[in-house]
């Protein structure tokens, strides 16, 4: 028996309402596309897990796709506490935070339309002291939840905040309705050097020709943080516009709490199959994902789970593998598990990796083992070469501090090539 609907949010894609997200009196979520969206053959589905259809989608799909836009773990708990709602109620969290999320969507109360003209007031840049204070507060008040103004959300367990840049490069909180263009990631006290580590890994990936997010290491009153440019935003005549994206967990209909393959989440086999069905040019995107998997294996990024790979819909409608993000050599912290979030073949670590796992991974990817073997060798050699030249990390001036990461990365690259 269907329970009565308790409340509804309008789901917008740019200037058009795509559908409605509802919660019933039992707490279950439902989503239905609007008739206009269904009738327009030029507009896509909101998710690979939610093809265009008249029949509404139920709680499981809604929590995987829309709940997957929300912060996770302790971040979600802190937000829920600040808002006075349950962390297990994604509807109320989206109601409070869903004005600017990953991708092109926005969640608004019924009858409210997206603000298009927010240019009457300029964003107020945060001075260094204010930015340092913000970095201190974010872990306990994620997304500035409950403080009014912009309604912001990003998935993930790590503290972060969507922001915009002013014309002189300053950092500001987005005005209500304004798409954020960057995000700031404060460095956790628990993991000193994390900001430099991620900046290095992203810069190394780009040096190898791997598409990865652009990031800059910065400080505010001595507090390090990472400033990351959002790849799901473009500038049109000086105005930011949203591009749609969804991570692999969302696209496969898997909730955030099952993002790890060991917990029943997506594997590389699932991920390659997704790309083959969703990408406009699957042959090209599959090769990019193979490179990403090899790169994460070599640098020791054990946290490359299904929410750290995404599909991106470009302005012309082409669906591609999104630039890589959250690239961290997690093996640098011994208290973190060294086991890969997605096994490379059957190998959970580089130490377990061998030629047999090359064959298994190639089979999962639908590629030839000789090709995978060659790419591992090529990327390993390129990693050694780029580190010998010196990887330029934007904004980072303490060269000695990343020398250890570079040294370990070179050692791992040589080990990967040796194990072939």
The residues annotated as belonging to the active site are 303
Sign of CA dihedral 54, 55, 61, 63: positive
**Two tokens, residue 404:** 């250890």
Using CA atoms, how far apart are residues 13 and 100, in angstroms rounded to an integer?
A: 11
Q: 154 with 230: CB under 8 angstroms?
A: no
Residue located via tokens 């955030």: 256
Helix (H) or strand (E) holding 219: strand 215-220
Count of other CB atoms within 10 angstroms of residue 419 = 17
Q: What are phi and psi of 50, to 5 degrees?
A: -130, 70
DSSP 148-211: -S--B---BSS--EEEEE-TTS-EEPPPTTPPP-EEEEEPPTTSTTHHHHHHHHHHHHHHTT--
Q: Which of helix, strand or coil describes residue 397?
A: coil
Which residues have a Cβ under 8 Å from the Cβ of 39 and sit 6 or more positions away?
none
Using CA atoms, how far apart are residues 86 and 400, in angstroms rounded to an integer?
A: 45
Using CA atoms, how far apart are residues 327 and 206, in angstroms rounded to an integer?
A: 11
Which residues have a Cβ under 8 Å from the Cβ of 62 and sit 6 or more positions away?
21, 29, 30, 31, 90
Question: Judging by DSSP bridges, how do beta strands 310-313 and 244-247 pair with one another?
Answer: antiparallel
Using CA atoms, how far apart are residues 325 and 228, in angstroms rounded to an integer?
A: 9
Q: 195 with 177: CB under 8 angstroms?
A: no
Q: What radius of gyration, in Å, describes the C-alpha atoms of the chain?
A: 21
Question: Judging by DSSP bridges, how do beta strands 105-109 and 5-13 pair with one another?
Answer: antiparallel
Return the closest-CA partner of residue 60 out of 238, 233, 257.
257
Count helices and strands in the chain by DSSP H and E runs: 12, 14
């Amino acid at each position: 028996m269907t329970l009565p609907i308790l409340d509804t949010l309008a789901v917008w894609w740019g200037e058009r309402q795509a559908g409605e997200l509802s919660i019933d009196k039992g707490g279950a979520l439902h989503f239905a596309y609007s008739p206009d969206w269904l009738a327009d053959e030029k507009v896509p589905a909101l998710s690979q897990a939610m093809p265009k259809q008249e029949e509404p989608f139920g709680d499981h799909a809604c929590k995987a796709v829309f709940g997957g836009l929300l912060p996770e773990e302790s971040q979600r708990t802190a937000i829920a506490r600040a808002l006075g709602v349950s962390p297990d109620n994604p509807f109320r969290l989206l109601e409070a935070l869903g004005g600017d999320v990953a991708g092109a969507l926005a969640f608004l109360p019924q009858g409210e339309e997206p603000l298009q003209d927010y240019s009457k007031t300029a964003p107020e840049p945060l001075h260094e002291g204010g930015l340092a204070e913000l970095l201190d507060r974010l872990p306990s008040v994620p997304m500035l939840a409950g403080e009014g103004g912009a309604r912001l959300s990003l998935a993930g367990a790590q503290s972060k905040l969507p922001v915009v840049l002013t014309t002189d490069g300053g950092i500001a909180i987005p005005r209500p309705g304004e798409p954020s263009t960057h995000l700031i990631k404060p460095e956790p006290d628990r993991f000193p050097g994390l900001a430099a580590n991620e900046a290095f890994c992203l810069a190394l990936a780009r040096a190898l020709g791997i598409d990865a997010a652009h990031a800059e290491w910065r400080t505010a009153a001595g507090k390090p943080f990472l400033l990351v440019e959002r790849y799901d935003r473009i500038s049109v005549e000086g105005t930011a516009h949203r591009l749609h994206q969804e991570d692999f967990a969302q696209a496969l209909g898997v909730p955030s709490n099952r993002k790890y393959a060991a917990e029943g989440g997506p594997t590389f086999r699932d991920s390659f199959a997704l790309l083959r069905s969703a990408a406009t040019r699957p042959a090209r995107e599959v090769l990019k994902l193979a490179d990403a998997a090899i790169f994460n294996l070599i640098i020791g990024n054990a946290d490359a789970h299904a929410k750290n790979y995404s599909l991106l819909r470009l302005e012309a409608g082409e669906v591609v593998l999104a630039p890589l993000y959250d690239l961290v050599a997690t093996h640098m912290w011994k208290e973190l598990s060294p086991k890969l979030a997605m096994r490379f073949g059957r190998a959970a670590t580089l130490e377990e990796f061998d030629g047999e796992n090359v064959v298994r991974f190639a089979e999962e990817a639908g590629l030839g083992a000789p090709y995978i073997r060659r790419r591992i060798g090529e990327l390993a050699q390129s990693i050694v070469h780029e580190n010998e030249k010196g990887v330029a990390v934007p904004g980072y001036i303490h060269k000695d501090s990343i020398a250890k990461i570079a040294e370990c990365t070179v050692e791992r690259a040589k080990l990967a090539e040796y194990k072939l």
